[in-house]
């Protein structure tokens, strides 16, 4: 609350009169409740791995992806898909891919004993080229359209998460 002060200045040595007018400030409520959302991002791993010794690069890349996902989706529980892990490690511990396109999916935690209400699933999105790619929000119906596409080699797994690639 903010106080406005009014003071009467005495001329004859009388005592000082103070009046306070309290102004009510409406505070915005904290962060809006997190909702499930899916977005595609490109991470430039090369600039994050400069000055990292060779034998620690792939592990550091996974940690940097985890850190990026935590910042982008504001969740502490980050789950990295095995296909993304295989992609990062595909050229060995030293030669990590320069860039990686990932799909971040913020989902509700089904486990009752979980500390966090939401978790983030990080998946690899294979792309031909990284030119002119931007962050995109993926809608659920688009995921289903991709899964039902005749070009899809895999589909949705039993938890409703897209896996596979288009040919």
Give residues with Cβ within 8 angstroms of 138, minimum separation 6: 38, 39, 40, 103
Segment 63-91, tens digit of pLDDT: 999 999 999 999 999 999 999 999 999 99
Decide the pairing of beta strands 78-80 and 118-124. parallel
Mean pLDDT of 139-164: 60
- Whether residue 41 contacts residue 104, with contact meaning beta carbons closer than 8 Å, is answered with yes
pTM of this structure:
0.68
């Amino acid at each position: 609350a903010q106080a406005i002060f009014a003071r009467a200045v005495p001329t004859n040595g009388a005592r000082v009169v103070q009046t306070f007018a309290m102004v009510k400030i409406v505070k915005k409520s904290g962060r809006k409740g997190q909702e499930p959302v899916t977005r595609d991002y490109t991470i430039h791993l090369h600039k994050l791995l400069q000055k990292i010794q060779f034998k620690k690069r792939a592990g550091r890349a996974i940690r940097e992806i985890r850190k990026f996902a935590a910042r982008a989706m504001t969740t502490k529980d980050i789950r990295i898909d095995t296909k993304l892990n295989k992609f990062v490690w595909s050229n060995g511990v030293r030669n990590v891919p320069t860039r990686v396109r990932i799909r971040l999916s913020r989902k509700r935690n089904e486990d009752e004993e979980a500390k966090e209400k939401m978790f983030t699933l990080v998946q690899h999105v294979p792309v031909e080229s990284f030119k002119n790619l931007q962050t995109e929000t993926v809608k659920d119906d688009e995921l289903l359209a991709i899964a039902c596409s005749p070009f899809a080699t895999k589909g949705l797994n039993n938890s409703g998460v897209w896996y596979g690639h288009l040919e």
